[in-house]
Amino acid sequence: MQVSEIVTTGLSANEWFSLAGQLAMLGWIILIFLPRRIKPLFFIAQYAIPFSLSLLYAGLALSQYFINDGDYNSLSGVRALFSNDYMLLAGWVHYLAFDLFIGAWIAQYADQLGMSRMIQAPIFLATFMFGPVGLILFFITRTGFLNGTTPMEADTPKIGEAVDESETPNRAGVVLEGAQHV
């Protein structure tokens, strides 16, 4: 039995759509309303749900891509590819997985900056609904928290500046865990 047979004989595209949406919504609820200091809970929203959605995406895309018309070489090719409900669903699940992963990254970084949940919530809504718009909104908001530095230079030392990565605060005086200084 091929993967495409398993996908098409199991749940319908609409049922997968519903399940994927509910799973992603659970992740967003965790990010917005539940305490992030509980590491296993935050792990669910940050890694477990995006990973699960990514597995669903991989199964859908890889089982359907080679048996359908269409390609990624032109807009008309993408339109033909997405005329298949399972490929359209794969595209949607791709958005759900990446947007949630970026939302969790924003949440972690915003918490380290001391950004309140009231400020984070509209950023999450924008990220959930419009992906990159939420990321842009976060960068703009973050800039205000970093005393006027730009998002790209916020935690990057000047060329030739010595850096102790374990204890170096950024310009706002915040030590960012896991920040890589080059």
The model carries a pTM of 0.73
Query: Mapping DSSP to helix (H, G, I), strand (E, B) and coil, where does residue 35 land?
Result: coil
The two structure tokens encoding residue 58: 């991989």
> How far is residue 1's CA from residue 21's CA, in Å, rounded to a whole number?
28
The two structure tokens encoding residue 101: 């992963």
Q: Are 87 and 4 in contact (CB under 8 A)?
A: no
Cα separation of the two ends of the chain: 50
- pLDDT for 80 equals 87
- pLDDT for 53 equals 97
Which whole number is the average pLDDT over 74-79?
90
- pLDDT for 70 equals 82
Which whole number is the average pLDDT over 56-64?
91
Say if residue 69's pLDDT is above 90.
no
Domain ranges of the chain: 3-145
How many helices, marked H, and strands, marked E, lie in the chain? 8, 0
What confidence tens digit (pLDDT) does each residue in 88-102 have?
Answer: 999 999 999 999 999
For 147-177, b/e burial (b = at least 16 CB within 10 A) is: eebeeeebbbeeeeeeeeeeeeebebebebe
- pLDDT for 88 equals 93
Helical axes 85-113 vs 132-145, angle rounded to 10°: 10
Mean pLDDT across the chain = 82
- The residue that leads in pLDDT, 179 or 133, is 133
User: How far is residue 126 CA from its own chain's centroid?
Assistant: 12
Which whole number is the average pLDDT over 124-142?
94
Percentage of the residues of the chain whose pLDDT score is greater than 70: 75
The DSSP code for 71 is -
